[in-house]
């Protein structure tokens, strides 16, 4: 059976709505908590690797040395064109592994907002966002688009929201997998950040409930299109 390895930085930022389409495609899924589990061998050999989000900065190597280990792993997967997705923090580490910078965006972006797809984005796995562009954003930092990569999407607050390095490697600054039944865990886990940003938790919860079914359908479409387009 083909294997997906998901690397989590906090338990509640998991595969979310990406889980059902991966299982439907016949993948066995193994999830690891980066700071706790022994994940290196599994991640290196995974048919598909998905590096998920988290509240730390990709530049926090001095505090969290595992970031350098992840970066080296992603560098090797890029060099070998192994199927890989980065989401949120995972996208930022993937950008660094591809030689790009990660730095403060200048404006915090938290909440549900529309994506503006580039021409490359409209013909990519992000095609489900053409008609229904809302998705979850939750970040302070951003990345430069690596040399040789295609910019796929932007928002009003952040130009570089997604990129691809060929069909096998894609990075999402936003969270296409989030907003489903597990979203309440995000609100609990990030309560102090939300308070500091003066974000209305009740309004954010209401948006997640209202948009949840459509977000799940888009996540299913994104993953299915990406899997169908892999160059193996």
Per-position DSSP letters for 139-189, written without gaps between them: EEEEEPPPTT-EEEEE-SS-S--EEEETTTEEEESSBTT-SSTTHHHHHHH
Q: What are 226's two structure tokens?
A: 């990406």
pLDDT at 231 over 90: no
Q: Look at residues 103, 109, 99 and name the one whose alpha carbon lies nearest to residue 60.
A: 103
CB within 8 Å of 47: residues ≥ 6 apart: 2, 3, 4, 27, 83
CB within 8 Å of 77: residues ≥ 6 apart: 49, 84, 169
- What does the pLDDT look like over 168-219, one tens digit per residue? 999 999 999 997 789 999 999 999 999 999 999 999 999 999 999 999 999 9
d(CA 30, CA 107): 35
- What does the pLDDT look like over 112-153, one tens digit per residue? 999 999 999 999 999 999 998 999 999 999 999 999 999 999
pLDDT at 16 over 90: yes
Polymer length of the chain? 232
- What does the pLDDT look like over 82-116, one tens digit per residue? 999 999 999 999 999 999 999 999 999 999 999 99
Are 180 and 216 in contact by the 8 Å Cβ rule? The answer is: yes
pLDDT of residue 68: 97
- What does the pLDDT look like over 34-55, one tens digit per residue? 999 999 999 999 999 999 999 9
pLDDT of residue 152: 98
Largest pairwise CA distance in the chain: 46
pLDDT-derived band at 163 (thresholds 50, 70, 90) equals very high
pTM of the model: 0.97
pLDDT of residue 217: 96
Q: Say which CATH topology domain 2-228 has.
A: Rossmann fold (3.40.50)
């Amino acid at each position: 059976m083909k294997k997906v390895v998901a690397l989590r930085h906090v338990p509640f930022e998991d595969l979310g709505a990406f889980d059902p389409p991966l299982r439907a495609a016949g993948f066995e899924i193994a999830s690891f908590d980066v700071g706790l589990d022994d994940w290196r061998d599994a991640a290196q050999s995974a048919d598909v690797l998905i590096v998920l989000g988290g509240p730390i900065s990709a530049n926090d190597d001095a505090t969290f040395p595992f970031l350098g280990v992840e970066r080296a792993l992603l560098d090797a997967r890029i060099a070998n064109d192994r199927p890989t997705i980065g989401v949120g923090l995972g996208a930022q580490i993937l950008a660094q592994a591809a030689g790009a910078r990660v730095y403060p965006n200048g404006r915090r972006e938290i909440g549900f907002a529309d994506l503006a797809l580039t021409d490359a984005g409209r013909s990519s796995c992000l095609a489900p966002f053409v008609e229904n562009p809302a998705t979850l954003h939750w970040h302070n930092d951003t990345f430069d688009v690596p040399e040789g990569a295609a910019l796929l999407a932007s928002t009003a607050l952040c130009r570089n929201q997604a990129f691809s390095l060929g069909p096998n490697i894609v990075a999402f600054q936003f969270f296409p997998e989030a907003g489903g039944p597990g979203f309440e865990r995000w609100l609990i886990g990030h309560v102090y950040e939300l308070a500091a940003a003066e974000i209305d938790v009740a309004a954010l919860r209401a948006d997640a409930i209202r948009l949840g079914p459509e977000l799940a359908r888009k996540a299913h479409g994104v993953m299915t299109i990406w899997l169908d387009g892999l160059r193996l």
